[in-house]
Amino acid sequence: MISAGDFRNGLTVEMDGAVFQILEFQHVKPGKGAAFVRTKLKNIINGGVVEKTFRPTEKFPQARIDRNDMQYLYSDGDLYNFMNVETYDQIALNKDAIGDTLKFVKENDMVKVCSYNGNVFAIEPPMFVELEVTETEPGFKGDTATGANKPAIVETGASVNVPLFVEIGDKIKIDTRTGDYLSRV
């Protein structure tokens, strides 16, 4: 059991017959009245986001989430195929379960598949990926004084804003959580 006073981002708890992941939390101590915890919770089964407040002493059972390392194999229409590299078991997930989490992931890259009671609800890509720029406009000499950016398309088809000195064929490092350019490799 975990109390609301011990909530942290990313923690998963069971309440009201559903499983919620804590996206944001804030401990509030008003000048008058009792303290409370304001939270933003995501239902991991249906993806809905709700905001709730709790007394810091309320207790909830912590949900057991399984995170398995799997290799992203390929996409076949609306199905995305993954393989457990230890047991060679394969699973296919539809586009609704994946969302846009694979926009920076190439085939054969490792991802974490998150499941609760055997039901997959999320895919966690690696935090940083190195991808090759396949399409971008040329930068002009002298334009770097403003720190300007230009759009670029990487090998997975995703669009990223990059500095003007990045050219086609350059390998760049990208933060998958924000989609931001970090550096050239």
117 and 151 co-located in one domain: no
Q: What is the CATH number of the domain that holds 78?
A: 2.40.50.140
Kindly tell me if the per-residue pLDDT of 71 is higher than 90.
Answer: yes
pLDDT tens readout for residues 133-155: 999 888 766 655 667 788 999 99
> What is the pLDDT at residue 144?
58
**Domain ends where: 19, 41, 60?**
60
Q: Are residues 117 and 149 in the same domain?
A: no
- Range(s) of the domain holding residue 170: 128-184
- Tens digits of per-residue pLDDT, 26-70? 999 988 889 999 999 988 877 789 999 999 999 999 988 888 899
pLDDT digits (tens, 9 = 90+) for 96-129: 777 788 888 998 899 998 888 888 877 888 999 9
Say which residues have a Cβ less than 8 Å from residue 114's Cβ, sequence separation at least 6: 44, 65, 66, 67, 120, 121, 122, 123, 124
Query: What's the rounded Cα separation, in Å, for the pair 118 and 151?
Result: 40
* Beta strand extents in 1-65 (DSSP E only): 2-3, 12-15, 18-28, 36-43, 49-54, 59-60
Give me the CATH number covering residue 15: 2.30.30.30
Which residue, 82, 67, 146, 157, is CA-closest to 114?
A: 67
- 7 and 51, same domain (yes or no): yes
